[in-house]
Amino acid sequence: MREYRIEVARELFKFSCAHMTVFPDGTKERLHGHNYFLGITLELRDISFRNMIAFAAIKDAGAALSQAWKEHLLLATENPHYELVREDESEIEFRLCGQRYVVPRGDVVLLPLDNIAVEPLAAHATDLLTERLRSVLSSEVVSAIEVRVSEGPGQGAVCRQVFERPSP
């Protein structure tokens, strides 16, 4: 049996952003940033002409997600050590692990995650890309999507979402 994969990891999928990883004991890393890279893989059941998948849709989805997170502070709103104090159009004030921060609102992306680390970022990116690529991800053709978020060479996380074949 043969297996097929489409792999897309473009320079457009690079995004630099800041974050603070929080640990279960309530401590956290200092505010810092990474040059993240996104990779998208589709596992295919069929590569016949009638089921071809346009790479453009995958490239557009990966570029849009990378652009949305690029040059922002990513905050995990579901973290038990995160507290939103105040938010308006110009700034956001929050506490993280007891420390107070005030940041321009346009510099922040709030994510419904419990932490900002490569594992939850990969899982969230998988959800967002699956939704954005819904028209491309026919379960007749695509058996899985795999999203990799790397924070540097040789260091990252992968989330794989399997799609069940529809019943006949």
Q: What is the pLDDT of residues 116-133, one digit of tens each?
A: 999 999 999 999 999 999
Question: What phi and psi, each to the nearest 5 degrees, are found at residue 68?
Answer: -65, -30
Quick one: fold of 4-79+115-162?
Tetrahydropterin Synthase; Chain A (3.30.479)
Q: What is the pLDDT of residues 67-107, one digit of tens each?
A: 999 999 999 999 999 999 999 999 999 999 999 999 999 99
Reported confidence tier of residue 30, pLDDT bands at 50, 70, 90: very high
Domain boundaries, the chain: 4-79+115-162
Dihedral, 22, 27, 30, 31 alpha carbons, nearest 10:
40
Cα gap 93→150, rounded to integer Å: 29
3-state SS class at 20: coil
Q: Which contiguous run of DSSP H or E holds residue 4?
A: strand 4-8
Q: What is the pTM of this model?
A: 0.92
Of 149, 155, 157, 156, which Cα lies nearest the Cα of 14?
149
Question: What phi and psi, each to the nearest 5 degrees, are found at residue 166?
Answer: -65, 145
